[in-house]
Structure 1
C-alpha cells in the first residue's frame, strides 16, 4: 500500500531541499510539478493573477480552498470580452470582474459554462446582464436542478438556452473562438474553448493539473477518451486546465498526458480492487495509487473515484 505523505511534511522536505541550493537560480524548468503553490514556490499573495497567453488572451488563476487554483479564461474581443468559467463565490467572481477592468474597459459579452460545478458557477449571479451564454444541454439541465434545490441565500443562474451540436464558433473581431464538446469527462457537459489562431485550448475541469481525478459526477472511461480527443486536436500548443497551474506550451501537453495517464491508472487500480471483492472502506485502505496518491485532494477524492469506477463497471455488466 502506498499512502501520500502528509502535505506539511512534503512542504518541509521541499523547503529543506531548497535551502541546500539557495544560490541556484530558480527557473521554470526547475519548478516542482505540482498544484501546491508552496511546493511550486509561488506565494499566496501573488493571487489572484493574470497569466498572459497571447495578445488578447489571459488565464486567470485564483486560489480556492484547500489551496490550489481555479482557472478562468479571458478573451478580449474588438467590442467585448468573453469569459469561460467564473469563480466559486460572488466575492471571488466580482474580484475577477474588477481585475478585468484593469486590462480593458470593454464590456463582458459572452460567457461559456465549461463546468457546471459550484466552484466555477456559484458567483455567476454577479455577472452583467445581457450576456450571450454558451452551455451544453447536460450542464443546463444540471443548473436547472441546482436552481430548483437551492436553499435560501443561494442563487443559481440558469442560462436561457443550450448550444446545439458539438461546437459553436464566436467571432470576437480580434480572434475566433470555437467552443467544443469533445465528450463527457468531469461533469458530462464539459465544454472547451479552442482558439485556433493562438493555438490554445482551455479545458475547464476536463484537465486538473496535478489534482487527483475528481470523479463525483464523472464518466471515468469516457473522460480518458475525451482527453485523448483534446490531445489529437490540430493547432493546439497550449492546454489550459480548470484547476492547477497554467503551464508553458510543451510542458502543458506533458502535464495533460500525465493527467490522462492518472485517470487510466485510477480506473485500473479501482478495477483491481473490485476483483478482490473488497468493501469500499477496505479498498480505500489497500489502494496503491503510486505518484498520483501524492497529488492534491488524493485523500478526499480517492474513495469517490473507486465508487464511481465500480458504478461504471456495474452498469456495464447489466
Structure 2
C-alpha cells in the first residue's frame, strides 16, 4: 500500500531503525519519528571513511544511527551533507565525530546560526554550525568507492535544500524536498519554487531512484511515480489556496474551508494543511523573499 503509515504497510515499529541497501556500500537508514512515520538518512561507505546525508532528530537517535553504521563498517564518519537544516535532521549532530567535513548551503548555514543563537538564549545545547558553506550549486566528493555529487536545484522545503546524487548508482537522495506520502510541510517552504525544484530532480540524467527525507524508501520504478505524485500534491495545495483566495475569503476562513481531497489521508494533513494555506497565501501576496 502506498502510504507513509507503517501500520497500513504492515511494517511493525519494532522493525526500525533499519538499513535499506540501495547499492554496494550505499544504504538508506529509516528511523521512526513521532507521530509514526520515517526520517531517512543516506549512508555511503567510502574507501577510507563514511559519508552521511542528514542525521536524526535527537542525540539519542543520531547516536543509534552512528552505532548501527559501525555494524556495516569500522571506518570513521568523514563527511556530512546538510540536506535539511530542520531539527528533525540536525538536532543530534553534536554526537557526530569532531573534525568531519560538512557540506551546507548558505541559506541553511544562516538558519543554523540563528538556531544556535536561539538555543543559547534558552540555555539549551548548541546547534552544530558548520564553519563555511558551499560556494556554488554543485560540489563533488570522491569517497573512493563512488562519486558523490551534492546539488542545489532550487529552494523547496527549507530554502537551503541539498540533494545527493550518486551517478554510477543512479540514485538521488532528496532529503525533505521529497516527503513520500506526507502532506507537503510548508512552514519554511517556497511553495511554487518547491514544485519546480522537484521537476528539476525528475529531469536529471543518471537518476532513476529517488530517496525521500520522510516516508518509505520505494523501489526504483515506484519512487519516480511517488515523486511525481508528491509534485502534483504541492501543485494541488497551491491551486486550492489560489481558489480560496480568489473567492474573497480571509486567510483564516480559507484555513477552515480548504478541501484537500485524497491528500487529507496523507500523514500530517490535519497539522500541515493550515500551515500550507498560510504559506501559499504569503507567497501569493508577494511576501516570500
Category of TM-score, reference length = shorter chain: over 0.9
Quick one: which of 135, 148, 157 aligns to 1:186? 157
Quick one: which of 262, 269, 273 aligns to 2:244? 273
CA deviations on 1:220-268 (whole Å, 9 max, x unpaired) are 0000000000000001010000000000000000000000000000000
Name 1:147's counterpart in structure 2: 116
Asked if the contact 2:54–2:83 (Cα under 8 Å) also holds between the matched residues in 1, the reply is yes
| Structure 1 unmatched runs, 5+ | 1-31
Give the secondary-structure state (helix, strand or coil) at the position aligned to 2:286: helix
Instruction: Check if 1:64 corresponds to 2:33.
Output: yes
Number of aligned residue pairs: 287
Give the secondary-structure state (helix, strand or coil) at the position aligned to 1:216: coil
Name 1:126's counterpart in structure 2: 95
Name 2:7's counterpart in structure 1: 38
CA deviations on 1:109-153 (whole Å, 9 max, x unpaired) are 000000000000000000001101100000000000111111223
Instruction: Check if 1:76 corresponds to 2:51.
Output: no
Q: 1:274 to 1:317 in 2, by over 3 A?
A: farther
**Structure 1 Cα separation of the partners of residues 8 and 211 of structure 2:** 20
TM-score of the two chains, using structure 2 as the length reference: 0.98
Shift >6 Å, 4+ stretches: none
Q: What RMSD in Å do the two structures reach over aligned CA positions?
A: 1.2
- Structure 1 residue 316: deviation in Å? 6.9
Instruction: Check if 1:247 corresponds to 2:218.
Output: yes
Name 2:174's counterpart in structure 1: 203
Larger radius of gyration: 1
- Structure 1 residue 287: deviation in Å? 1.2
Name 1:311's counterpart in structure 2: 282
**Structure 2 Cα separation of the partners of residues 101 and 218 of structure 1:** 35
- Structure 1 residue 155: deviation in Å? 2.2
**Structure 1 Cα separation of the partners of residues 105 and 32 of structure 2:** 26
Greater Cα offset, 243-252 or 280-289 = 280-289
Quick one: which of 99, 102, 107 aligns to 2:68? 99
- Structure 1 residue 154: deviation in Å? 2.7
Instruction: Check if 1:285 corresponds to 2:256.
Output: yes
**Structure 2 Cα separation of the partners of residues 190 and 315 of structure 1:** 21
**Structure 2 Cα separation of the partners of residues 284 and 296 of structure 1:** 18
Asked if the contact 1:37–1:43 (Cα under 8 Å) also holds between the matched residues in 2, the reply is yes
Name 2:229's counterpart in structure 1: 258
Asked if the contact 2:190–2:288 (Cα under 8 Å) also holds between the matched residues in 1, the reply is no
TM-score of the two chains, using structure 1 as the length reference: 0.89
